[in-house]
Structure 1
Amino acid sequence: MNANLRQTSTLAIISLVSGILGWTLLPFLGSIAAVIFGHMARGEIRRQPDRLEGDGLAVAGLVLGYLSIALAVLVVVAIFLLFGGLAAFLAFANH
């Protein structure tokens, strides 16, 4: 019986771990790493589907990474809008 054993992609595991770290210990760097390693893992798995698995892990890392980056961008935009609105309010209040 020849069972075709596939190995889990190391890049997929790194992507998932980086995505989790992007939400906990390394907010921005972990998210960037999750996205980079996730795309690398998916490419590696597509090129060698008979040898590698772990596409779900790579996708989970990508989702965590992209969500964290999107949330960070929204927070920065909200801060700029808040302080911009506050500056405009103070400018009009002084007239």
Structure 2
Amino acid sequence: MNAMTRQTSTLAIVSLVAGILGWTVVPFFGSLAAVICGHMARKEIRLAPDRLEGDGLAVAGLVLGYLAIAMAVLAVIAVLLFFGGLATFLAFAASTN
């Protein structure tokens, strides 16, 4: 009997690597690539489950990508709120003098 071996999806590996790079070297673009490749890998694996594996790698890439994007959005909101509040405070302090 000749047992067929399953190959790890290249897109799943790229998703995981891009997710790691999204947290270190190329923050936004790595995270975006991780999310896109992760979704593509999961679809590819679903369409050929007898030939491909690596769904866990794709999910890990998706999680890393989405978390990095969420953290970036929260950081932008925090900066806008801080400087917006600071500008409002300074405008209020200037108007009371």
* Aligned counterpart, 1:66: 66
User: Identity of counterpart residues, as a percentage?
Assistant: 77
* Aligned counterpart, 2:12: 12
* Aligned counterpart, 1:41: 41
- Which whole-Å CA distance do the structure 1 matches of 2:8 and 2:43 have between them? 14
* Aligned counterpart, 1:27: 27
Question: Aligned pair 1:78/2:73, yes or no?
Answer: no
- Which whole-Å CA distance do the structure 1 matches of 2:3 and 2:57 have between them? 23
- Partner letter of residue 64 of structure 1? L
- Which whole-Å CA distance do the structure 2 matches of 1:14 and 1:36 have between them? 10
- Which whole-Å CA distance do the structure 1 matches of 2:59 and 2:49 have between them? 16
- Which whole-Å CA distance do the structure 2 matches of 1:63 and 1:3 have between them? 33
The Cα offsets for residues 43-71 of structure 1, whole Å up to 9 and x where unpaired, read as: 00000000000000000000000000000
| Count of aligned residue pairs for this structure pair | 95
- How far residue 2 of structure 1 moved from its aligned partner, in angstroms, is 2.9
- How far residue 3 of structure 1 moved from its aligned partner, in angstroms, is 2.0
Larger Rg: 2
**Structure 1: runs of 5 or more not aligned:** none
The Cα offsets for residues 61-87 of structure 1, whole Å up to 9 and x where unpaired, read as: 000000000000000000000000000
- Which whole-Å CA distance do the structure 1 matches of 2:78 and 2:89 have between them? 16
- Which whole-Å CA distance do the structure 1 matches of 2:87 and 2:57 have between them? 45
- How far residue 4 of structure 1 moved from its aligned partner, in angstroms, is 2.7
